[in-house]
Amino acid sequence: MEDWVNKLRETLKSDTVPRVALMAGTAVLAVVVLADAFGARDRAVAMRADGRMGLLEEGRLPVSVPSSYRVPRDLASEARRGVLDEAAEEAEAIAEVTEDQDDTDPMEMAEADMPEEDEAAVVEDERVDEEEAEVAEDDLVEEEVETEVAEDERAEEDEVEVAEDDMTEDAVETEVAEDERAEEDEIEVAEDEMTEDAVETEVAEDERVAEDEVEVAADDATEDDAIASLMASADLSNGQRVWRQCAACHVYDAEQNRGGPHLVNIIGREVAAADGWRYSSALQEHGGEWSVDSLLAWLENPDSYIPGNQMAFRGLRDEQDRIDVLGFLEDQRID
């Protein structure tokens, strides 16, 4: 087989010159054919111009090919067929050689030509390569396992961190909720205390108002009793005569100020309350109301009862005169 392949290679090398000659002849024939094609086109144009194209189409004009042109065309065709046949045979031979080479394992051919020592070295190298490949695969597997383990550990750490963060957030939320609840409790307690204080204050005020009302009622009752007693023991005629001592400065039947403030409804009126009259500081600071007892004490001696007042009157020494004049003023009360 190898001898036949070597002979084929030598044959291919020795046929290079004929092949080049054939290729050159083929190129010449191709040029002749192209020239003939262009000449035929020119002849067809000339025949159309002088009217012979119609006769040719009708078949009445004989067509002849010169022998000088026909013979080269036949030779070119035969030469071209010869070149194509040779090329086909060479292609088939090369294909057969290639198939034989493909069927033969290169490693087997190399091993067949290789000495025994070289074969042992090759086998050792192959074994070493296989061991190195196995080691590399083991290392790769170990790396993949380590990588997977590292990823799992990182995933677990991330999960732990997430869980811790969730726990921290829950703790913070719980603490915030407890603080808010404590604040709400404090606010409720404060509101309850304020409500209790307000209730106590309101109760105290109500009690004080009630006490004041009771006191006022008692005072009113006492004052009413005093007025009734006064009117029962007063001599109104004598009281009118005693009034003449007061008439120079006061009036009792109109709210008009003269030398002193008017005395309209004087019993039960507030001290220093006549509009338009300029009272002394002593009377303004005294305050209160004019009751039967306070008026009796005032009429007895104004300077002793309210020191520092500006009333120029020594007072009525007779108690009955004081009762009579107050009875007269009460009898003149204006409703």
Chain centroid to Cα 183, Å, comes to 28
Summarised one tens digit per residue, pLDDT across range 49-82 is: 666 555 555 555 554 444 444 444 445 555 556 6
Residue 177: predicted pLDDT: 86
Statement: residue 273 has pLDDT above 60: yes
| Position 137 in a domain | no
Picking from 107, 135, 159, the residue at the C-terminal end of a domain is: 107
Interatomic CA distance for residues 138 and 306, integer angstroms: 124
**Structural domain range at position 276:** 234-331
| Position 238 in a domain | yes
Q: Classify residue 315 by burial, with Cβ atoms within 10 Å: 0-12, 13-18, 19+.
A: middle
Interatomic CA distance for residues 243 and 246, integer angstroms: 5
Statement: residue 186 has pLDDT above 80: yes
Q: How many domains does the chain have?
A: 2
| Position 146 in a domain | no
Residue predicted with more confidence, 2 or 247: 247
| Position 136 in a domain | no
| Position 68 in a domain | yes
Residue pair 226/293 in contact (Cβ under 8 Å)? The answer is: yes
pTM (two decimals): 0.38
| Position 70 in a domain | yes
| Position 214 in a domain | no
Summarised one tens digit per residue, pLDDT across range 239-256 is: 999 999 999 999 999 999
For the chain, what is the mean pLDDT? 78
Intra-chain end-to-end CA distance of the chain, in Å: 163
| Position 135 in a domain | no
- For residue 305, what is the domain's CATH number? 1.10.760.10
Residue holding tokens 């590292």?
A: 150
